[in-house]
Amino acid sequence: MTIPADVQPDTTPLDPPVASTAPLSTVRPFYWSVRRELWEHRSIYFGPLAAAGVVLFGFLLGMMIVTHVGRSSWAFDPARQGHALVIPYDIAAFAILATSLIVALVYCLGALHNERRDRSILFWKSLPVSDLTAVLSKAAIPLVVLPVVTFAIIVGTQLVMLLLNSTALLLHGVGAGPLWGQVFQSPLDMPYALVALALWHAPIYGWLLLVSAWAKRAPFLWAVLPPLGLCLLEKIAFDTGHLASIVGRRLMGGLGEAFKAAPGSQDVIGASPQMDPIGFLTNPGLWVGLVVTAVFLAAAVWVRRYREPI
């Protein structure tokens, strides 16, 4: 039996593909937005790594210069001796920390401005990523990512320095145990200091992100001139410096707010300040700064939503 030519066989259309019912959150847009920042801004980790390289190079040079006095350096008073040996490690941590702070400031100042200048914002706005997610992912770099990167690089650098120093001491017949004890006497100080600095500097990062989203050109001038102008205006009009004091304290006072002098430390050579988390967390300046940060970030989200490409 043959099928007539004008009769088409019954072909049931295939069922349309079932769209994924997984919520958009499973795509982890925030996570991938942060990864995007790490891909596009390699200075986030190259900057601190470069500082660590310079520190290690200088440390090696110093060891080569003073290697002929090796054993005599341990002939001093033990308190002075331990303090003198730890100084290079403190300098290394400070150099890497200062470099990370500069990287954070430069990153925030260009994070939203650069994407408008090269018009990549037109592409990123076409993706299912909200302006809030985009701004928060950029804020997470100085507040979360850079402190973690800085901590890892500081610890790695100090470990390399310790291995080199221990080898040199052992070659001169001196044990390196006291040196390791001095360097890692307070292992929680560094992570605590990094977290405290990130929270204390949060209003600065929020302000720079807002300026980066708003300024059409010269974002550095727009970030610096308004606070500077207000400080000068206060000084001229009222002959006071309250605003300048607030700005200076916000820029340079983070560690002073997070640590306090140990009791009786005036009589101890090289005594380190103690962590003061309770005093830091109950400091009104911290919470006022975080509220101001939230306002700046909300304003940056709004500006990014309506700002045209440059």
Tell whether 3 is covered by a domain: no
Tell whether 51 is covered by a domain: yes
Strands (E), 126-169: none
Which run of H or E residues covers position 259?
A: strand 259-260
Which run of H or E residues covers position 260?
A: strand 259-260
Q: Which domain holds residue 160?
A: 28-306
- The count of structural domains within the chain is 1
CA angle centred on 289, ends 202 and 30, rounded to 5°: 40
Tell whether 41 is covered by a domain: yes
Tell whether 270 is covered by a domain: yes
Tell whether 20 is covered by a domain: no
What are the backbone dihedrals phi and psi of residue 275, each rounded to the nearest 5 degrees, phi first?
-65, 145
Please state, in angstroms and as integers, the Cα–Cα distance from residue 3 to each residue in 11, 12, 164, following that order. 15, 18, 89
The residues with which 259 forms a beta bridge, in sequence order, are: 275
Tell whether 112 is covered by a domain: yes
150, 184, 191, 188: which is closest to 166 by C-alpha? 184
Work out the number of other CB atoms within 10 angstroms of the CB of residue 22. 8
The two tokens of residue 69 are: 């006095």
pLDDT tens string, the chain, 310 residues long: the values are 455 555 455 444 544 444 444 444 545 888 888 888 888 888 898 999 999 999 999 888 877 765 544 444 444 444 455 566 778 888 899 999 999 999 999 999 988 888 777 666 666 566 677 888 889 999 999 999 999 999 999 999 988 888 887 777 666 665 556 666 666 677 788 899 999 999 999 999 999 999 998 988 888 999 999 999 999 998 898 888 888 888 888 888 888 888 887 665 554 445 567 888 898 999 999 999 999 999 999 999 999 887 776 6
Place of tokens 């039996």: 1
Tell whether 183 is covered by a domain: yes
Tell whether the torsion through CA atoms of 125, 126, 130 and 136 is positive or negative.
Answer: negative
Place of tokens 């809030």: 132
Tell whether 241 is covered by a domain: yes
Contacts 24+ apart (CB under 8 A), 286-293: 286/199, 286/200, 286/257, 289/199, 289/200, 289/202, 289/203, 289/250, 290/199, 290/202, 290/203, 292/203, 292/206, 293/202, 293/203, 293/205, 293/206
